[in-house]
Amino acid sequence: MSFYPDAFSLKGKVALVTGASYGIGFALASALAEAGATIAFNDINEDFLAQGLAAYEAAGIKAHGYLCDVTDEPAVQKMVAQIEREVGTVDILVNNAGIIKRVPMHEMAASEFRQVIDIDLTAPFILAKAVIPAMIAKGGGKIINICSMMSELGRETVSAYAAAKGGLKMLTRNIASEYGAHNIQCNGIGPGYIETPQTAPLRTPGHPFNSFILAKTPANRWGRTEDLKGPAVFLASSASDFVNGHVLYVDGGILAYIGKQP
């Protein structure tokens, strides 16, 4: 096998991308499909699932869609078993589904905090637990957890999200540690500030956060979901077989930069 492009090929692989009807998940799944993977994805909302299937079809991708709440362990185990029957064993898991609640911590209800932790941290555990046994039996696999700037930094109003994404970084490292011997590589992608529905409230014209982020980003722009495609294919492919427990930040340089002088 020549190194390039074979090492980056995902031909014959099955990828499960959670929460991938649109946004970052859709872009990641599309990239994996373009590299040859067969795509399975889920959504918690039937209408969004249908819209996602139509969007994949419009992009020339035959994706397999499943209605599933990633926090519901029995439902996740049932979905993974259905994927194994209908598509094949999951070779690549991308834990993308996630939410954020922007509330000052002292005003946040514990139930809101728990909901963010449940979706952004407990669910990646549930999904990884569901796919790892078959990956071990198959001789290996890839798990990619979608982390965040908040895996490294805090800011006002995102306490639950930062706690979850910080935990997700350590869950990534622990899965890498516990299953590396089974040829399972678990890594993270830490997107910077990306133009998606999740950040739309921060990008309204004149919103002070918009100029703030541009001043904190050496690239002087918001990220686009396309910026995440190459890192995803790399971490899903055999080109990264000796990369394990790493979080690849795709942030335009935010974490390296003190910020533009006012």
Q: How far is the CB of 25 from ligand NAP (least distance, A)?
A: 6
Q: How far is the CB of 179 from ligand GCO (least distance, A)?
A: 26
Catalytic-residue membership of 179:
no
User: Which one of the spans 59-67, 79-87, 171-179, 186-194 is the region binding ligand GCO (CB under 6 A)?
Assistant: 186-194
Q: In what order do the strands lie in the sheet with 141-146?
A: 64-67, 38-43, 14-17, 92-95, 141-146, 184-191, 247-250
Residues 200-219 that bind ligand GCO (CB under 6 A): 202
Asked if 74 touches ligand NAP (CB under 6 A), the answer is no
Among 45, 177, 198, 211, binds ligand GCO (CB under 6 A): 198
Q: How far is the CB of 201 from ligand GCO (least distance, A)?
A: 8
Q: How far is the CB of 141 from ligand GCO (least distance, A)?
A: 26
2 vs 204, which CB is nearer to ligand NAP?
A: 204
Residues 12-41 that bind ligand NAP (CB under 6 A): 18-19, 21-25
100 vs 186, which CB is nearer to ligand GCO?
A: 100
Asked if 150 touches ligand GCO (CB under 6 A), the answer is yes
Using H for helix, E for strand and C for coil, what is the string for the chain? CCCCCHHHCCCCCEEEECCCCCHHHHHHHHHHHHCCCEEEEEECCHHHHHHHHHHHHHCCCCCEEEECCCCCHHHHHHHHHHHHHHCCCCCEEEECCCCCCCCCHHHCCHHHHHHHHHHHHHHHHHHHHHHHHHHHHHCCEEEEEECCHHHCCCCCCCHHHHHHHHHHHHHHHHHHHHHHHHCEEEEEEEECCECCHHHHHHCCCCCHHHHHHHHHCCCCCCECHHHHHHHHHHHHCHHHCCCCCCEEEECCCHHHCCCCCC
Which is catalytic among the residues 56, 66, 161, 193? 161
200's tokens? 């739309």
Asked if 145 touches ligand NAP (CB under 6 A), the answer is no
Asked if 192 touches ligand GCO (CB under 6 A), the answer is yes
Residues that bind ligand NAP (CB under 6 A): 18-19, 21-25, 42-45, 48, 69-71, 96-99, 119, 146, 148, 191, 193-194, 196-199
Residues that bind ligand GCO (CB under 6 A): 100, 102, 148-150, 155, 158, 161, 191-193, 198-199, 202
Catalogue the active-site residues. 161
